[in-house]
A and B are shown apart, each in its own frame.
Chain A
Amino acid sequence: MSAGIGVDLESLWIRFGDFVAVRDANVHIEGGDFFSFLGPSGCGKTTILRAVSGFLEPSEGNVLIGGKNMKGIGPNKRPTALIFQNLALFPLMKVWENITFSMEIKGASAAERRRRADELLDMIALPDQGDKLPSELSGGQRQRVAIARALCAEPDVLLLDEPLSALDLKLRQHMRTELREIQQRVGITFIYITHDQGEALTMSDSIAVMRAGVIDQIADGKTIYNDPATAFAASFVGENNVFRGKVKRVMGDEALIATNRSGDLVARISTANRGKLAEGDDAMMFIRPEAFAIAPEGATGDHFVTARVTHEEFEGNAFNIFTEGDGGKEIKVSIPNLGQSFKDHTGQNITLEYDARNAVVVPAGELAAE
């Protein structure tokens, strides 16, 4: 991949009055990467995007694009293009005029613009739609026109503010692949804002998980999923079962946790927290539903959990077993459907087994709201 223009946020603070929207964000975004900010709504990710695009001046800290400090440079002078959440296509202009608006500004001739518009329309697979108005297009087509309009400006960095949130599920999944393809074709840096972890995981080279203005973790999707740095990252990205307790003993990379309900359990300390957890600390242990297996009855030890089954469901590709868990939360266990016979356990006690490498311990912290 060509080395595109990178973006750096240096100790970025953004305040609105007393409210801190972004707290000390330090991010290095590699040129040519597909980088996502993932977090629940109101966590400050759109604010970061507006600071990068220049609509918002940071209260403290710097935004660097291609190593150049952007302080005092307006949105129309930055090498960025933003795709708005509601797309913001110009309603009175035809599709081709929309797409080539950035050329019109520079005084390009109509013929030149038309030619470029046709190229871009071909690229987004909407040939011969140039003379329509945006209101005559479907949601997915409008989406692609917005992308073409942004790309026409030939930005070094493309910023996308939850552009898929207005689309239906099927189209959203289709557009994910398409966006990723476009990004790899044009080879520029994409900064993508989303609250949908599926979008972030499937498309991104790197993800920053954000919570209430704070960046909890920056890593690639696999690391975030398997090795979360905080309780929030662990509970926000994908489904996860939480076990609360205290650290009883630290054994190298692993720790024995005295859980509130399920006895002493062993788990791997997440990479970011190695050496930071000491005996007696409040901790949270996370095990993914698919990391459990049903153990023979009566098995005991530090990687067995016994609990009463409240209900079960059949999801097609998996059987889901829900058992009583810690703090009113259920433990979800997902057993892949491989054609095996499946016994109903409702009302019974069940013993579950897991591999300590698949359980992760982080310091106790705020969980993602469900």
Chain B
Amino acid sequence: MNSSFLRISIWVYLAIFFAYLLGPLVIMSLTAFNSSSFPRISPWECLTFQWFTELFHDQRILNGIKNSLIIGAGTVVLSVAMGLAGALMLTQIWPKLRATYYTIIIAPILIPGVVLGISTLVFWDRINRMLGLGADSVLSNGVFLTVIGQSTFIASYCMLVLVARLQRYDTALTEAALDLGATHAQAFRKILLPFMRPAIASAAVLAFLASFENYNTTTFTFGEYPTLTIELAQKVRYGITPAISALAFIIVALTVFFALLNEAKLRRQELVAAARRNAMVQDLGGKIRLPSFFAGNMAAVLLVVFAVATITMVGTAAVYSPDQCIANVKEQKRLEAERRIQELRKQREEQRKQREAQEAEQGGAAQSAPKPSNNSGFGGVFAPGALGGGADAEPEAEEPPKGNGGFGNVFDPNSLSGDQ
């Protein structure tokens, strides 16, 4: 009984843990498919793919992705090269200096990215001036500065990955290559580099991801080349739309895809190795088996499921039209809005009547009637005209109405009406 309680507790704990970890991602992904103009899943309006369309028509996002890719590629090249050089140096350096050298080379990881960003900017600006170059020189170019700035600490990550592999390298292999007539360059290229290839690949992926998601260093250095994270941050300042959810969904989907792909590949290698060992045994058993790629390879099965789901989704998106649903929702909203307008008008009418009655009672001199729009503390939001115009216009306006303040669409009359 005690143990079953413990078991249940563990499951509950795991459920809570994963809900905490993955819940936000799932919710955000779902909002990408809701036609509501503010990212949310309740109330669910209509299934739509319009946010993806919108995303791919957003020039700033696309430009941000392009800049991120360029900067990511540059950072990968520079960081991996610097990381490899640093790792090699660590194995060559005088043993007494090794600990000190290691500390120095790891330090950038511990320095806040903001500091690295500012210092990169200041340092290269100084160099630029010393060389007497203008503001449009390569040294003050956003891409150059961002690559340099990010690499200052990403190279340290790369070095850590590469050192781990390098420690397993037998220097006798290099000696053997030299002994067989290779030059140092040939020994490096033909022996050490192939040995390091898996670690270099890992370091490159790590460097790319670190570069892609970096914000706090990049924010100082991007100049005229805002990366995706910068663009997103700037967009969020003016209110978010589900198009950002759509982007998040794509990134999550790509991550899951590559994780599954990698896992499937690893599993497959293991299975091949196991099959080689058991080759004799398997030859004897003539059973019907799944294609070898899938047998015992859960990741591969998931990968295929994933691929099928993606194709289905894209296919559905191509033929699916949520127009009818959206029109219905729009109609509902319009009716709702009209109803509220009527209510408001009625209210106003009553208020006016009351006031007129009061004025009549007071019998004062003729006063100008107060403007109805000055009645409320909400500016023009509840003005009948504003409401009417909003209801007539496209409810899911692509451009949120300007001038509504820092709260995005929250105070949009449509969103209010939609809440009911």
Contacts and interface: CB of A to CB of B under 8 A. Distances in A.
A153 B176 CA distance: 11
B181 A105 contact: yes
Nearest to B183: A76
Interface centre among A76, A92, A104, A106 (most CB of B within 10 A): A76
Interface string A253-279: 000000000000000000000000000
Contacts of B173: 88, 90-91
Contacts of B176: 82, 84, 88-90
Interface in B158-172: 170, 172
A76 B181 contact: yes
A139 interface: no
Contact of B181 (A53, A55, A88, A106): A106
Contacts of A92: 194-195
Contacts of A106: 181
Mostly, the A contact residues are: mixed
A9 interface: no
A207 interface: no
Interface centre among B172, B194, B195 (most CB of A within 10 A): B172
A149 interface: yes
Nearest to B195: A92
A55 B170 CA distance: 15
Interface string A105-116: 110000000000
A75 B190 contact: no
A102 B177 CA distance: 8
Contact of B180 (A86, A91, A149): A149
A83 B180 CA distance: 10
B175 interface: yes
Contact of A82 (B179, B186, B190): B179
Contact of B190 (A53, A89, A104, A150): A104
B182 interface: yes
Interface string A59-99: 00000000000000011110011101010111110000000
A86 B170 contact: yes
A149 B176 CA distance: 10
B175 A101 contact: no
Nearest to B173: A88
A187 B186 CA distance: 30
Contacts of B172: 84, 86, 88
Interface residues of B, number: 17
B201 interface: no
A104 B186 CA distance: 10
Nearest to B182: A105
What interface size band does chain A fall in? 20 to 34
Contact of A76 (B182, B191, B195): B182
Contacts of B178: 55, 74-76
A127 B175 CA distance: 27
Interface in B168-223: 170, 172-173, 175-183, 186, 190-191, 194-195
A136 to B, nearest CB: 9
A91 B182 CA distance: 17
Interface string A140-162: 00000000011001000000000
Contacts of A86: 170, 172
A82 B170 CA distance: 16
A90 B191 contact: yes
A88 B194 contact: no
Contacts of B190: 101, 104-105
Nearest to B180: A102
A81 B186 CA distance: 17
A153 B170 contact: no
B81 to A, nearest CB: 21
Nearest to A146: B176
Interface centre among B175, B180, B190, B194 (most CB of A within 10 A): B180
A38 to B, nearest CB: 23
A314 to B, nearest CB: 45
B176 to A, nearest CB: 4
Interface in B95-113: none
16 contacts: A55-B178, A75-B175, A75-B178, A75-B179, A76-B180, A84-B172, A84-B175, A88-B176, A89-B176, A90-B173, A92-B194, A92-B195, A102-B181, A105-B181, A105-B186, A106-B181
Interface of A: 53, 55, 74-77, 80-82, 84, 86, 88-92, 101-102, 104-106, 149-150, 153
Given A88-B170, A90-B191, A104-B190, 8 more contacts: A75-B178, A76-B178, A76-B180, A76-B181, A90-B176, A91-B173, A101-B182, A153-B181
For the complex of A and B, the 3 pairs showing the least CB-CB separation, nearest first, are A88-B172, A88-B176, A102-B180
